[in-house]
Amino acid sequence: MKAVGVVVEYNPFHNGHLYHLQQAKEQTGADVSIAAMSGNFLQRGEPALVSKWARTRMALEAGVDIVFELPYRFATQHAETFAEGSVSILSAAGCDTLCFGSESGDLESFHNTIVFLEENHEAFQEKIKFFTGEGHSYPKSLALGFQSLAPSDSFIDISRPNNILGLHYIQAIISQKSSMKPETITRKNAGYHDEHFASATIASATSIRKALFGTAGEIGTIKQYVPETTYEQLINYKEHYGGFHSWENYWPLLKYKLLQSTPSELKDFYEVEEGLENRLLAAAGSSDSFQQFMESIKTKRYTWTRLQRVCLHILTNTRKDTMKTNQKTVNYLRLLGATEKGRSYLNSIKKDLSLPLVAKLSGFTDPDIELDIKASKIYALGQSGKGQEQLLSEEFGRPPIMLKS
């Protein structure tokens, strides 16, 4: 059976994701689709709108055949590490192709860019160093440095988020000597960070979340932008767990953690660098919401995403000695869910898997599993009452979701 892999967050699964999934299957001729999906906390340093289990069901009902969890260690990192973990999962799962969405949509331009960067590595690093010294954020320095080397139109625009991820996917495939082939599909209509609905049926996950947390807060406003199965899952989640997750749910916990910490203690948390601990402490006491806190600490040097990741690692008590390792690949494949076709595929390759297949946490230990368990406990605190109790019990008690035809 031929398998295509996708790297996803599905926060939540929407019509753009459905288009990408369908095109990935069609372009590659795959029999099954496999997703490496972030857990309860995401690459931009924020809690997922709904839990990984709800998002797994959204994915399976929309046509994904197998969902594996991308561990916290990789899911909440910068693009390069995020890509390395994702590629290692899909490669170990036997995917023939990794199909990613991009603003470019042209695979040749990705390869041209990789060759250009390899040939101009030292000059590029000097440019990055120059622009970061000018006070720009690292992602902005990358884009400015690349532009200053005057590449031609045959290269990708590395200021675009999905192009950057795609570049790192291909580089990870090369560095890991994976047999997977990359394939890309042009993103349809909505941009990654678009905050407003851009068409009648396609909207970014950002704009969908904004609508759900807006003044109206009505789920009905996003109905035309998501599959019916996603819409039903969102309604069910709100009813069963008490609401959706946003950073504001966790602000009291983060504020407490900040105010009871000393500057030297904050410096131990992952990604807290260059005196940032003092800025965090100064803003914590005078901020009444997470939004206000973020606006107080935001500078030209640090992106909103980077600062959210800093906050996330403080919230989850994740320190430098935990995250700063030479680990480039995952140690296991944690199964979150599968369709009947997906189970048939797993049965056919089980003996050839290079990594342990984890369906239940009992009897399996690993530092990354422990980190995921801790993160899931913190995620559960974003709800109260029975919703919190149910989320706390799911990490250990819930088996993978097995969707019948």
pLDDT tens column, 224-262: 999 999 999 999 999 999 999 999 999 999 999 999 999
- Can you tell me the distance from the alpha carbon of 204 to that of 130, in angstroms, rounded to the nearest whole number? 34
Strand-strand pairing, 66-70 and 333-339 = antiparallel
What token pair was written down for 349?
Answer: 């390759």
SS3 361: coil
Q: List the domain boundaries for the chain.
A: 3-103+165-189+329-403, 107-159, 247-319
What token pair was written down for 205?
Answer: 């996950």
Q: What residue numbers does the annotated binding site cover?
A: 7-20, 101, 162, 187
Residue 36, Cβ neighbours under 10 Å: how many? 29
Give the CATH fold of the 3-103+165-189+329-403 domain: Rossmann fold (3.40.50)
Summarised one tens digit per residue, pLDDT across range 176-217 is 999 999 999 987 654 445 554 556 788 889 999 998 987 656
**Given CA atoms 177, 34, 316, 292 in this order, what sign does their dihedral have?**
positive
Mean pLDDT estimate for the chain: 92
DSSP assignment of 151-203: --TTS--TTSHHHHHHHHHHHHHHHTT---EEEEEEPPSS-TT--S--SSS--
Of 29-38, 57-66, 119-128, 263-272, least confident by mean pLDDT is 119-128
Q: What is the pLDDT of residue 190?
A: 46
Yes or no: say if 207 and 190 are a contact pair by the CB < 8 Å rule. yes
Q: What residue numbers does the annotated binding site for ATP cover?
A: 7-20, 101, 162, 187
pTM: 0.93
Q: What is the pLDDT of residue 216?
A: 58
Summarised one tens digit per residue, pLDDT across range 145-173 is 988 886 777 888 888 989 999 999 999 99
Percent of the chain topping pLDDT 70: 96
Q: What are phi and psi of 396, to 5 degrees?
A: -95, -40
DSSP assignment of 310-355: HHHHHHTT-BHHHH-S---S-S-EEEEEEEHHHHHHHHHHGGG-SS
Percent of the chain topping pLDDT 90: 75
- Can you tell me the distance from the alpha carbon of 188 to that of 24, in angstroms, rounded to the nearest whole number? 13
